[in-house]
Chain A
Amino acid sequence: MIRALARVLVLLVGAGAAATVVNAVRPKPLRWFVTKEDVYPAPLPVHIESEISLDDFLAAIDHGAVVIDARAEDKYRNGHIPGAHNLPAHSIHENLGRIYEWATPEMLVVVYCAGGIDECDESRTVFDALKENGFVNLRLYLGGWKEWTQKNMRISEEPVDPQ
């Protein structure tokens, strides 16, 4: 019995040692110890059910939100919010499956487009498509690219995903 327990311990310790070494040499190691907030962030304070301000959007990014740029590909390539994935509204139904590469239906997802209440139909199109497909934690950043650039926020031209 003691020998069996010792062998179980050796197997577990061996697995733990391999895990520790491999995790340590990863480009982005997974942290062993985190806070509860890191794992299960508290719900964001949102003033309107789904439409959020720039401040709320920035807080969402800090909380690990998945950001979706609903504009066409060429506009995305010319500049987008850093870390945003491109899911153009005009081809949403053909490409909707790509969302599952970046997010699960429970994750916080924020969609933006060109910006302005009257100029953001693209983000609403993507928002509605995601909602219909079971995404339950969606937000719309209506200020969009327009407000982002007006506030001189950092932009990126590097695509997040391989084309």
Chain B
Amino acid sequence: MTRSKTVWLWVQRLCRWALGGLFVFAGAAKLMGLKFSWAGVRLLLAEGSLDGFKVLGITAFRDEIRNYRLEPVWWIIHPAAIVMPWIEIVTGLALIFGIWMVEAAVLILLMLLLFNGLVGSAIYRGLDINCGCFGTDMKVGWLKIAENMLLFALGVVALVARRRLHRMPAAEPTST
């Protein structure tokens, strides 16, 4: 394998694993209604204590969606609370294991665009709410949008790396 191919292969893998892993965690956190702060993470690392973590159930995620004040599409809130975590988990796993990678990555990129749309809408309307992401107590804001854009970039890089790999010759020419 050429050096260039090795580099692109590992770029693709690392991006897939990072993005896929984050989405599996995000989906699982929503399913459990996991809530924690970074102070809780420090407490876990320093003392092995889970006091900074709470499990509130799926209704916590439903309430976080509700906080976005989606009155025009109120009918989507409960189905979204039920299905969205599983879409994140399924696409995240597909990405980690490289199954239907392009389709899984595209779905994740679309979800990130949707999330940024919602966060942007909340910022525009002046809502002071938790973003409902990853179980943290992070509020909606420009930092959240930047974070999602970074994840979006990871997905794009993974797709670009895959395309590069597919365009490279399959076998190295043998010297005679």
Contacts and interface: CB of A to CB of B under 8 A. Distances in A.
Given A11-B91, A11-B103, A39 B74 contact: yes
A36 B72 CA distance: 10
The DSSP consensus for interface residues of chain B is: helix
Contact of B128 (A7, A18, A101, A105): A105
B66 A39 contact: yes
Interface residues of B, number: 39
A40 B103 contact: no
B82 interface: yes
Interface string B55-95: 01111001110110101001101110111011101110010
Interface of B: 31, 35, 54, 56-59, 62-64, 66-67, 69, 71, 74-75, 77-79, 81-83, 85-87, 89-91, 94, 100, 102-104, 106-107, 128-130, 137
10 contacts: A4-B103, A8-B106, A11-B90, A15-B90, A15-B91, A28-B57, A28-B59, A30-B58, A32-B82, A39-B66
Interface of A: 4, 7-8, 10-12, 14-16, 18-20, 22-23, 26, 28, 30-34, 36, 39-40, 100-101, 104-107, 134
